[in-house]
Amino acid sequence: MGNPAPATSVEKPSPCIARQAILTADEELFGYELLFRENPEEDHFTSDVENATSTAIETLNLIGLDVLCDGSLAFINCTQQMLLKEHFLVLPPDEVVVEIQETVPVDVNVAEACRRLKEAGYAISLDNFVPDDAREPLVPYARFIKVDTRQALPEQSAALAARYAGKCRMLAQKVETRQNFVAMRNAGFTLFQGYFFRHPERMRARQIPATATTYLRLLQSIAKPVTNFREIEDLIKREPSLCYRLLRYLNSPLLGLSSPVQSVRHALNLLGEQELIRWIRMATTLVMGKDKPSDLVLSSLVRARFCELIAPKINHGDSDLFLMGMLSMMDAILDAPIGVVLENFSLDSDIKEQLLHGKAGASTPLSAAYDLMLARESGTWEKVTSLGKELNLSLYFINKSYNEAMRWAHDIKNEIPPDQ
């Protein structure tokens, strides 16, 4: 018998996969563009898009397109060789969109490959489309045309939408502000990709979506003869609206509490058993029957769980990183500035400093962990590498933790009954 494989061989890193939401004109989730980088070694990422994407495609079924895209379409970049070698035929045609890059030269072979993909049921998108684009001959095979709104002038984007809207669905990329979103929507675009919806620009507060299943389980939990605080804590961590409502309630003048809240467990201890049961009943009455979690809420769950998973490996004092991750999107969820969201909170000082000032670029004790969370979410791979080194976290551990966080959030979402 040969020598056994070294222990490190079982920790073969999977490709690093991030996602960026694509929304409809009504700001409903339509799909995600998946951003890949291969991680062949522990200390760097490759910039070879073809190798990275090809390897990632082989592992998508392992991670699960349903987990990565939560049942929505996956837009995946495609190079010339990937197109000609038909890498995408291993993926389900009703779940993916093949994005043909601007670097793909148009010839007979490329056109024939597009024809075969379309006949097989795959949707094709022409990425970074511009006026007089060399890929014009591929438009008959395309279902989507994507226009980079930061590269094209507004009048050029409007002209492209007017010309092709009857043939393809027009998608505006790099939409970073609500003003840009409204302008592109008025110009004829029906799909939008960017971070405009994650930045509050209206002072109208909106209700946080709630998961009815979680509330039902909470009611069942508090009906037991002995209150299980750990079970209640785990259920509350599953629902962002519960965390937010709990913190608001703790800061109510009626309670008169003065201690800063350091974690969900700390909040439950501050309430005590009797008051906790009363609060859960009140909260379930207020939010039972609300809609399924939005993309923003799902993202806050991923952030929170990711921060919780990396917490044991880094120095973060007494701060609850789960709470930091969840609250990091509360301004977008409530459509209000983070200062307004947190103004009445007696929160852990380091978390509050990070959310109030660290988000604007100031350095805080939690900056590295917070920035790693954002970099991994957005697929800013070079920054993931540098922050991983700063925090002494391997890329394998970072990717494993993030993938686990996505699965956790996806599983929670799937626990919601279809009729809720």
Q: pLDDT by residue (tens digit) across 261-281?
A: 777 888 888 888 887 877 776
Q: What is the pLDDT of residue 414?
A: 66
* Mean pLDDT in residue range 358-378: 92
Q: Are 270 and 259 in contact (CB under 8 A)?
A: yes
Residues 157 and 69 in one domain: yes
β partners of residue 19: 34
d(CA 350, CA 364) in angstroms, rounded, equals 7
Q: What is the pLDDT of residue 259?
A: 66
How far CA 42 is from CA of 90, 119, 402, in Å, comes to 28, 41, 16
Residues 272 and 145 in one domain: no
Q: Does 206 reside within a domain? A: no
Which domain range does residue 48 map to? 7-198
Residue 373: pLDDT over 90: yes
CATH number at residue 12: 3.20.20.450
Q: What is the pLDDT of residues 136-180, one digit of tens each?
A: 999 999 999 999 999 988 999 999 999 999 999 999 999 999 999
* pLDDT band of 287, cuts 50, 70, 90: low
Q: How many domains does the chain have?
A: 3
Residues 19 and 159 in one domain: yes
* pLDDT band of 186, cuts 50, 70, 90: very high
Residues 75 and 217 in one domain: no
Residues 303 and 393 in one domain: yes
Q: What is the pLDDT of residue 74?
A: 93
Residues 54 and 144 in one domain: yes
Q: What is the pLDDT of residues 193-248, one digit of tens each?
A: 999 988 776 545 554 444 556 776 777 687 677 888 888 888 888 877 788 778 77
Q: What is the pLDDT of residue 223?
A: 66
Q: Are 67 and 410 in contact (CB under 8 A)?
A: yes
Helix axes 240-250, 295-310, angle to 10 degrees: 80
Q: What is the pLDDT of residues 290-319, one digit of tens each?
A: 544 478 878 888 998 999 999 999 999 888
Residues 120 and 56 in one domain: yes
Q: Are 15 and 58 in contact (CB under 8 A)?
A: no
Residues 299 and 276 in one domain: no
d(CA 193, CA 141) in angstroms, rounded, equals 22
How far CA 6 is from CA of 38, 164, 165, 187, 358, in Å, comes to 22, 56, 56, 58, 42
Among 155-164, 354-363, 402-411, name the most confident range: 155-164
Residues 64 and 180 in one domain: yes
Residues 140 and 278 in one domain: no
**pTM score above 0.85:** no
Q: What is the pLDDT of residues 36-95, one digit of tens each?
A: 776 534 444 545 556 656 666 766 767 788 888 888 999 998 888 888 988 888 889 999
